[in-house]
Amino acid sequence: MNNEPEVKNIQKKVVEQKSPVKVEQPITPPPMPKNEAPKPGYENIMAEKGVNLIPTLSKEEVVVAEKKKKLNVGSIVSLLILVIVSILIVGFNIVSRMALNNEKAKLSTYETQVTKMTQKMIASNEITERIQLYNRVLSETYSPKSVVDYINSIALKSGTSTVSTFSLGQDLLFTIEGRSTDMENVSKFWYLLSNDPKMDTVTLQSVGNNGNYIRFIFKGKLILKEFLSSTNN
């Protein structure tokens, strides 16, 4: 029974408390402790004094942006190098081709000019061919008369030896047949032939006594260059 007035008082108080009088007071933001760092991942949003609606780049984003920037610069540089190298190579190619074509045109003009003079060239070549034939043929030609006269002179020097047959072959290989009064003259003739400076080799092939005279046959080789003549008269 005593509780009822307390309850009523309480209810009254509660009722009275339910309709407080509105008092205008300034709205203050919740106090931020100054030394406390924003939580990880929220630095760009939480600024020092409020919320940043245009967030700056976070550290990670800055790092990524730096890396991308370096990569892009690298790509641009590579492209530039590619372009420059292409220009250089293509330019080198074009310049070389142009220079070659110019020289070819010049050569063609030269050839046309020189071709008009080929008749002179042909005539000169004909003469040169004959000169070469002359040199080739007469380079190993000797005067047979000079060889016969030479051998006869040695025979005369030896005494009574005379040569009645001469055979002259290639490279001045010779065979001579003759007669002498005695063996002494034959041996003297042989000695003179063997020691002659223009004689290469000489052998006494045969010697025979025919009663009145001695027959001999010598074979040998004369030194060709001693009897060559480079020009004829």
Which one of the spans 13-21, 48-56, 84-92, 212-220 is the region binding other proteins (CB under 8 A)?
84-92
**Structure token pair of residue 225:** 């260059």
Residue 19 vs 231, nearer CB to other proteins: 231
Q: Does 74 bind other proteins (CB under 8 A)?
A: yes
Nearer to other proteins by Cβ, of 47 and 99: the residue is 99
* C-beta closer to other proteins: residue 80 or 183: 80
Mark 134-143 as b/e (b = at least 16 C-beta within 10 Å).
eeeeeeeebe
Is the C-alpha dihedral spanning 95, 101, 103, 105 positive or negative?
Answer: negative
| Backbone phi, psi, residue 191, to 5° | -60, -45
Q: Which residues contact 1 (CB under 8 A, 6 or more apart)?
A: none
- Please state the closest distance from residue 122 (CB atom) to other proteins, in A: 5
Touching other proteins, residues 187-226 (CB under 8 A): none
**CB-wise, 27 or 137, nearer to other proteins?**
137
7/123 with CB nearer other proteins? 123
CB of 95 to other proteins, least distance (A): 8
Specify whether the CB–CB gap between 9 and 15 falls below 8 A: no
Among 9, 11, 52, 78, binds other proteins (CB under 8 A): 78
Between 13 and 70, name the residue whose CB sits nearer to other proteins. 70
100 binds other proteins (CB under 8 A): yes
Counting residues that bind other proteins (by CB under 8 A) gives: 75
Kindly tell me the burial class for residue 213, based on how many C-beta atoms sit within 10 Å of its own C-beta (0-12, 13-18, 19 or more): middle
Q: Is 84 in the site for other proteins (CB under 8 A)?
A: no
- Enumerate residues 113-142 that contact other proteins by CB under 8 A: 113-115, 117-118, 120-131, 133-138, 141
CA dihedral of residues 149, 154, 158, 163 (deg, nearest 10): -50
User: What are φ and ψ of residue 66, in 5° steps?
Assistant: -60, -45
We find the least distance from the C-beta atom of residue 226 to other proteins, in angstroms, to be 16
64 near other proteins, rule: CB under 8 A: yes
Give whole-number Cα distances, 229 to 75, 136, 140, in Å: 86, 13, 9
Residue type, 169: G
* Footprint of other proteins on 3-62 (CB under 8 A): 39-41, 58-61
